[in-house]
Amino acid sequence: MDPNLVTLVKLSLIFVKALVARGLSDGADAPVTHTLRIHCNQSLLLLEMERCGERFTADMKQILPDDRCNLTHFIREYHVFSFCTEANAERIGCFWPNPQVERFIIGLHQRFFSNCTLDPLVFLDPPEHTLTLLILIPVFLTLAMVALVVWSSKRSDVLA
């Protein structure tokens, strides 16, 4: 199997795992995670995300402009970035992923990869396809999370 694909699957599994954990914590019996969420310092979180982003920006500068849309060339840097956001969010007691982290990651995708998807050849080229998926996963998960939060608040309305 393509090692890029393996990394991508791993990446999306991390997101899904966090998503499920979050879904469960929105249920009845998770006072601990609710406490964590209250203690999450959003401005500190944003500072940490910006530091991860700065490192990613510096890493991407090392990659030749022609290779910046090529997953093979930046997957390692992307993985470091992804790990950085996760480790730091957890260290300061915030959920990962969470809406602020996602907004930051989506902004970063737009900054670095917006030109990559504009090429109509994207849809003919399997490696670029993977890139499109990579960009769409956080977008999709954000939507899924919004739906989940709405759904679970509706459900508790019904149960209440």
Ligand X SMILES: *[C@@H]1O[C@H](CO)[C@@H](O)[C@H](O)[C@H]1NC(C)=O
Q: Are 63 and 74 in contact (CB under 8 A)?
A: yes
Which segment (16-24, 26-34, 41-49, 136-144) binds ligand X by CB under 6 A? 41-49
In the list 44, 58, 80, 87, the residue contacting ligand X (rule: CB under 6 A) is 44
Q: Does 41 bind ligand X (CB under 6 A)?
A: yes
Q: Does 35 bind ligand X (CB under 6 A)?
A: no
Q: Does 72 bind ligand X (CB under 6 A)?
A: yes
Q: How many residues bind ligand X (CB under 6 A)?
A: 10
- Shortest CA distance to 41 belongs to which of 84, 93, 82, 91? 93
Residue 133 contacts by C-beta under 8 Å, 6 or more apart in sequence? 8
Q: Does 62 bind ligand X (CB under 6 A)?
A: no
Which segment (4-12, 15-23, 39-47, 143-151) binds ligand X by CB under 6 A? 39-47
Residue 115 contacts by C-beta under 8 Å, 6 or more apart in sequence? 69
Cα(118)–Cα(42) distance, integer angstroms: 33
In the list 15, 95, 96, 112, the residue contacting ligand X (rule: CB under 6 A) is 112
Max Cα–Cα distance, the chain, nearest Å: 57
Which segment (17-25, 26-34, 65-73, 147-155) binds ligand X by CB under 6 A? 65-73
In the list 4, 70, 100, 152, the residue contacting ligand X (rule: CB under 6 A) is 70
Place of tokens 């290779």: 67
- Shortest CA distance to 81 belongs to which of 59, 100, 112? 59
Residues at the interface with ligand X (CB under 6 A): 41, 43-44, 70, 72-73, 112, 115, 125, 127
